[in-house]
Every structure is written in C-alpha cells, then in structure tokens.
Chains A and B, each alone.
Chain A
C-alpha cells in the first residue's frame, strides 16, 4: 500500500488518482477534525473538501521527510480559523450554537434522562465557547480518542505541553459548563 507521502508526491506531479486515494483514506478523519473545530456539520464537510483541494495545490511544498497528518491537520486547522473569523465578522458570533446536531447523545448510553441530556447540551455549548486552542485539544483527546503522543505529533508540541494544555482547557470547560448551569 502506498504511504501518504508517496501519494502526496504523486499529487505534486499532477496525479489526480493519487489525490483520490488520499481522499478515500482520510476523508472521515478530515471531516471529524473540522467538525470538532467549527461545530457545524455542513461547514465541516465543506472545509474538509477544501482541505484536500489545498493539498492538491500545495503538494509541491510538502516535505516528504515529515509525517503527512500533522501537515494536513495544519491545513484543516488554518481553514477552520479563517472560517471562524469570517463567521464572527459577518454574523457577529463565533460558532453555531443552534446547530444541535454537532454532538449527539450516544445511543449506546442507556441513560438518556432529561438531566443527562441537559448536561450534554451544556457541554456542547461550553465547548463551542472555548477559545480555539482549548477546543482543539479537548476535541482531539475526548472525541478522537488520540493518545498524548499522537496529539503531540499532530500539533507539533511536546507531550508535557499536551498534558498542561489539556488541564487548563478542561478547567475552562468546566467553568463554562457551570456558567450555563446558572
């Protein structure tokens, strides 16, 4: 099987088939990463597609000695930041709090009492109000189930920084959830 780096070098040579393979391999990951950052299904879908178009356009600048996913994640993260900036400029709010479909109650959880649903709703709202960097680390750890080592590689930061960023992000998240409790 071709590695991601081989596919990107194919893309740099104009091979659209290589792009197709890369899309097939990472489309769900791209969508979920974007979803965690922008909190809206439709926009996450568009951003994930745009990310692959950016890969196609910038394939020649990719350093093949480096892993592909951190590079790809930077593209997605930058697109999400631009999207959030535009959105706050034109719609005067940073995120779509009305999009109830962002996080769903897991059907495997038997406890779907009103209290639980309210708690999850508070979590969703609090998540969307977190600063970008905090939301990023929380979604990677809690909803992508990545290990600290994987997050460190993806974000290009030391493992210890992952731990401290997670600590402070969770503190902020808990504070925001309490705020919505009032």
Chain B
C-alpha cells in the first residue's frame, strides 16, 4: 500500500476525494484488510466528533462584545498617552533631583550613592511588582465575580 493511499483515507472519509482517486481507493480497500480496519477507526472518530459541538456563549455576552472592544481600544490609546506623559515627567523629575543631589557639596558621596541605589532599586521593584500584578489580573477568570 502506498503512502498516498493512507493520506487518501482522510479525503475518503470526508468525501473530499476526486472521482478517480475515490475509485482507486475503493479498489485498494477491497484488497487490503488493514486499510479497511483503519477506515473503520477513522469513521468511528468522525462519529464521536459528530456528537459534540462548541460551547457557545449566552446572547447577552455577544451584545456587549463590541462595547468591550471599543472600551479596550479607547483605554489603550488613553494608557499610551498617559504613560508617555508620566515617563517624560518622571525622567524630568529624576534628572533634576539627581542633578541637585550630586551638586550639593555638603552631602557626602556615600550618601549620594546610597540615595541613588534606593531610588534605582525602588523603580526596579515597582516595575517588577506591577508587571506581576498585571499578569495575575489578566489570568484571573473570576475578576468579574464580586466577593
């Protein structure tokens, strides 16, 4: 039996084989008990998949579908603008704070390094924590459930 015959099996079960291939396949089927056996398992599989359907969603979910997308779209734009503004202000503030800190002659160098470390560490921790919370929120299937 050629490899083609195996692959034609799928097409035969689905009624997708062209006439000539179907005829050749049926000829082979008469001669080949192994192919008949395989055909039976494929037909059984089709029978089982025919018994199930996709879980559908209630109508009210579909009604609010577009509103959800629109909200996400607007919020996405809002967040981009907000984040860009916040980053600019933060960088500006940090630049001035650090310039003043390092310009101050009465503050020892080790204190300046310490303050820089605390600030840098806080920013890293804040970003990491925020990212974790965001991921947890996105994965929470029960976020709409009032506790």
Interface SS majority for chain B: helix
Number of A-B contacts (CB under 8 A): 96
Q: Which residue of B lies closest to A30 (CB)?
A: B65
Asked if A66 lies at the interface with its beta carbon under 8 angstroms from chain B, I say no
Inter-chain contacts of B141 with A (CB < 8 A): 42
B contact residues, range: 20 to 34
Is A24 within 8 A of B66, CB to CB? yes
Q: Complex Cα distance A56/B77, Å? A: 12
Asked if B116 lies at the interface with its beta carbon under 8 angstroms from chain A, I say no
Asked if B27 lies at the interface with its beta carbon under 8 angstroms from chain A, I say no
Instruction: Write the nearest CB–CB distance from A86 to chain B, whole angstroms.
Output: 8
Instruction: Write the nearest CB–CB distance from B72 to chain A, whole angstroms.
Output: 6
Inter-chain contacts of B53 with A (CB < 8 A): 103-104, 106, 143
Inter-chain contacts of A123 with B (CB < 8 A): 48-49, 52
Asked if B32 lies at the interface with its beta carbon under 8 angstroms from chain A, I say no
A23 partner, pick from B45, B50, B65, beta carbons under 8 A: B65
A 125-178 contacts with B by CB, 8 A: 141-143, 147-148, 160, 163-164, 166-167, 170, 173-174, 177
Interface residues of A (CB under 8 A from B): 16, 19-20, 23-24, 27-28, 31-32, 35-36, 41-42, 45, 49, 52-53, 56, 90, 101-106, 109, 111, 116, 119-120, 123-124, 141-143, 147-148, 160, 163-164, 166-167, 170, 173-174, 177
Interface residues of B (CB under 8 A from A): 6-11, 14, 16, 41-42, 45-46, 48-55, 57, 61-62, 65-66, 68-70, 72-73, 76, 135, 139, 141
